[in-house]
Chain A
Amino acid sequence: MLVVEKNSLTAEIEAMVEKYGNSRSSLLPILQDVQRNHKFVSEFAQQEVARLLDIHPVEVYSVISFYSFLHSKPMGRNIVRLCQTITCDMMGKVNVAKAIERELGISFGETTKDNKFTLEYANCLGMCDQGPAMLVNDKIYPRLTPEKAVEILNEIG
Chain B
Amino acid sequence: MENKDTQRAPVSQKPHSVDKPADTTTIGGTISIEINNEKHTVPLGTTILDACKMTGIHVPTLCHHDDLCIAGVCRVCMVEVEGMRTLQASCAFPITSPIKIHTSTPMVRKARRHVIDLMLSEHHGECYSCVRNNNCELQSLANEYGVDKYTFGHVEKSRFEIDNSSFSVIRDMDKCVLCKRCVRTCIDLQEVGVLESVDRGDKTHISTFMEKDLADVICINCGQCINRCPTGALHANDPSDDIWNAIDDPKKHVVIQTAPSPRAAIGEEFGLEAGHSMTQELNTALRRIGFNAVFDTNFTADLTIIEEGTELIIRLFKALVEKDETVALPQFTSCSPGWVKYLEHYYPEYVDNLSSAKSPQQMFGALIKTFYAEKAGIDPKDMISVAVMPCSAKKFECNRPEMADSGYQDVDYGLTTRELAKMIKEAGINLPEMPKTHFDNPFGDASGAGLIFGATGGVMEAAIRTIVEFVLGKKAEDVFEKANVIPVRGFEGVKYYEIPLGDQFGPVPALIQHLVPNWDWLAGATLKVAVAHGTANAKKIMEDIKAGGKFSECHFIEFMACPGGCLGGGGQPIPTNEEIRKKRAQAIYAEDESLELRKSHDNPHVVKLYEEYLTEGPCGHLSHKLLHTHYTKRGKYIA
- Give, as a whole number of angstroms, the nearest-CB distance from B191 to chain A: 9
Query: Counting chain A CB atoms within 10 Å of each CB, which of B4, B200, B210, B217 scores highest?
Result: B210
A51 CA / B209 CA spacing, docked (Å): 14
Residue-wise interface mask of B (1-23) relative to A, using a CB-CB cutoff of 8 A (1 in contact, 0 not): 11010011010000000000000
With beta carbons under 8 angstroms apart, the residue of A43, A51, A56, A65 that contacts B198 is A65
Knowing that A57-B638, A58-B207 touch, tell me 19 more A-B residue pairs with CB under 8 angstroms. Answer: A22-B1, A24-B10, A25-B10, A43-B210, A46-B209, A54-B4, A55-B193, A56-B187, A56-B194, A56-B209, A57-B209, A58-B196, A58-B208, A59-B193, A61-B209, A61-B210, A62-B196, A65-B199, A72-B210
Residues 594-639 of B at the A interface (beta carbon under 8 Å):
636-638
Contacts of B196 in A (CB 8 A): 56, 58-59, 61-62
Do A51 and B210 touch (CB < 8 A)? no
A156 CA / B260 CA spacing, docked (Å): 70
Do A58 and B209 touch (CB < 8 A)? yes
26 CB < 8 A contacts A-B: A22-B2, A23-B2, A23-B7, A25-B7, A43-B210, A43-B638, A46-B209, A46-B210, A47-B637, A47-B638, A51-B636, A54-B4, A55-B193, A56-B187, A56-B193, A56-B209, A57-B209, A58-B207, A59-B187, A59-B193, A59-B196, A61-B198, A61-B209, A65-B198, A65-B200, A66-B199
Query: Counting chain A CB atoms within 10 Å of each CB, which of B7, B192, B198, B217 scores highest?
Result: B198
Residues 57-91 of A at the B interface (beta carbon under 8 Å):
57-59, 61-62, 65-66, 72
A23 CA / B6 CA spacing, docked (Å): 11
- Give, as a whole number of angstroms, the nearest-CB distance from B590 to chain A: 40
A23 CA / B2 CA spacing, docked (Å): 8
A55 CA / B552 CA spacing, docked (Å): 24
Residue-wise interface mask of A (18-61) relative to B, using a CB-CB cutoff of 8 A (1 in contact, 0 not): 00001111000000000000000001001100010011111101
- Give, as a whole number of angstroms, the nearest-CB distance from B136 to chain A: 26
Interface of B is mostly: loop
Interface of A is mostly: helix
A23 CA / B8 CA spacing, docked (Å): 10
Q: Is B437 an interface residue (CB 8 A)?
A: no
- Give, as a whole number of angstroms, the nearest-CB distance from B635 to chain A: 11
Tier of interface size on chain A: 10 to 19
A125 CA / B198 CA spacing, docked (Å): 24
A69 CA / B110 CA spacing, docked (Å): 39
A23 CA / B210 CA spacing, docked (Å): 23
A67 CA / B66 CA spacing, docked (Å): 32
Contacts of B193 in A (CB 8 A): 55-59
Contacts of B513 in A (CB 8 A): none
Residues 525-570 of B at the A interface (beta carbon under 8 Å):
none
Query: Counting chain B CB atoms within 10 Å of each CB, which of A22, A24, A46 scores highest?
Result: A24
- Give, as a whole number of angstroms, the nearest-CB distance from B636 to chain A: 7
Residue-wise interface mask of B (184-197) relative to A, using a CB-CB cutoff of 8 A (1 in contact, 0 not): 00010000111111
- Give, as a whole number of angstroms, the nearest-CB distance from B181 to chain A: 16
Residues 425-442 of B at the A interface (beta carbon under 8 Å):
none
A43 CA / B217 CA spacing, docked (Å): 12
Contacts of B2 in A (CB 8 A): 22-23
Contacts of A58 in B (CB 8 A): 193-196, 207-209, 217
Contacts of B197 in A (CB 8 A): 62
Closest to A68 in B: B200
Contacts of A66 in B (CB 8 A): 199-200
Residue-wise interface mask of B (491-518) relative to A, using a CB-CB cutoff of 8 A (1 in contact, 0 not): 0000000000000000000000000000
A58 CA / B210 CA spacing, docked (Å): 8
Contacts of B200 in A (CB 8 A): 65-66
